[in-house]
């Protein structure tokens, strides 16, 4: 029984693999089995008739299987999109939502995801690179993302964060976006997005107090110690189309909608009435 099961599995794998190669590189079941169970030298010796494509096929098969195995082992990714400005770099990164268990077999959304905008100033002088310790972050909520989508590029948008609180009150514990309504500090982190010349959009981040920019953030409120504010990047029309697409595609994921809908649909199908 075990040998029959192994043969069935081998045939299924064989069908999948031969669909990915040209017909002139087709191999038999026995040749495929040799590749799966031995190295290329044993594979070549096991052939009943010489084939010029056999060594190449063996190498292709081995590398392809290794690539697939490595792909399945990957469980982390760091998506981002960067736009170079005249004096700083704007990087857009997703902050994934968090979920919670509500029963042994059910989950619910605990906290929505956000889109992090990071402004990193360039090194001065002739030095290449960026001052990453001087970067300023601004995390957009799903509602703020929707506001940018609806208003830009025709109308400007201004968003602000009142800085203060403790190191655990930020979004997902991150101290780059702390908000507190009880702090005595009046310094705010302000993000503005305004239409510019030539179909550009100017994204600018600054620390402001009583409408005056160029302020330093309170040291007790955040780990950001940027002395380079304000920082701004001019986004070209083509770049903005890319950002718009990323914003729109990310919203369902930030709300946990895609994942929970897939689970809900699968559960509805399983519990269907026959």
CATH number at residue 121: 2.30.31.10
Q: What is the pTM of this model?
A: 0.68
Is the distance from CB of 256 to CB of 112 less than 8 angstroms?
A: yes
**62: pLDDT strictly greater than 60:** yes
> Based on the domain organization, do 124 and 235 belong to the same domain?
yes
Q: Mean pLDDT, to the nearest integer, of 167-174?
A: 44
> Based on the domain organization, do 61 and 159 belong to the same domain?
no
> Based on the domain organization, do 87 and 67 belong to the same domain?
no
> Based on the domain organization, do 150 and 225 belong to the same domain?
yes
Instruction: Specify the pLDDT at position 260.
Output: 94
> Based on the domain organization, do 88 and 224 belong to the same domain?
yes
Secondary structure class of 111 (helix, strand, coil): strand
> Based on the domain organization, do 204 and 230 belong to the same domain?
yes
Domain contains 113:
yes
Closest CA to 35 of 21, 14, 6, 4: 14
- For residue 6, the surrounding DSSP H or E stretch is helix 2-18
Rounded Cα distance, 116 and 112, in Å: 13
Q: Which residue range(s) make up the domain with 69?
A: 2-73
Question: What does the pLDDT look like over 78-103, one tens digit per residue?
Answer: 999 999 999 999 999 999 999 999 99
> Based on the domain organization, do 253 and 119 belong to the same domain?
yes
Instruction: Specify the pLDDT at position 26.
Output: 52
> Based on the domain organization, do 57 and 138 belong to the same domain?
no
> Based on the domain organization, do 50 and 183 belong to the same domain?
no
**How many domains are there within the chain?**
2
**Max CA separation in the chain (angstroms):** 85
> Based on the domain organization, do 50 and 85 belong to the same domain?
no
Please report, rounded to a whole number, the percentage of residues in the chain having pLDDT higher than 90: 47
**245: pLDDT strictly greater than 90:** yes
Non-local (6+) Cβ contacts of 156 within 8 A are 192, 193, 194, 195
């Amino acid at each position: 029984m075990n040998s029959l099961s192994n043969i069935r599995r081998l045939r299924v794998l064989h069908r999948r693999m031969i669909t990915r190669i040209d017909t002139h590189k087709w191999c038999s079941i026995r040749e495929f089995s040799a590749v799966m169970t031995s190295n290329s030298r044993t594979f070549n010796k096991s052939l009943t008739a010489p084939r010029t494509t056999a060594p190449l096929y063996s190498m292709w098969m081995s590398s392809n299987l290794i690539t697939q195995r490595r792909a399945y082992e990957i469980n982390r990714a760091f998506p981002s999109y960067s736009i170079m400005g005249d004096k700083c770099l704007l990087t857009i990164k997703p902050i994934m939502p968090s979920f919670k268990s509500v029963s042994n077999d059910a989950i619910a959304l605990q906290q929505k995801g956000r889109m992090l905008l990071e402004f990193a100033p360039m090194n001065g002088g002739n030095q290449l690179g960026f001052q990453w310790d001087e970067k300023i972050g601004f995390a957009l909520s799903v509602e703020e993302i929707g506001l940018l989508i609806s208003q830009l590029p025709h109308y400007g948008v201004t968003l602000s964060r009142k800085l203060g609180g403790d190191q655990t009150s930020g979004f997902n514990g991150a101290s780059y976006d702390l908000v507190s309504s009880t702090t005595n500090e009046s310094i705010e982190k302000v993000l503005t997005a305004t239409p510019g010349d030539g179909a550009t959009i100017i994204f600018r981040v600054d620390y402001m107090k009583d409408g005056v920019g160029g302020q330093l953030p309170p040291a007790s409120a955040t780990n950001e110690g940027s002395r380079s504010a304000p920082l701004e990047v001019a986004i070209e029309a083509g770049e903005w189309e890319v950002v718009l697409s990323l914003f729109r595609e990310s919203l369902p994921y930030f709300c946990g909608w895609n994942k929970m809908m897939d689970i809900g649909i699968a559960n509805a199908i399983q519990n269907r009435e026959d």
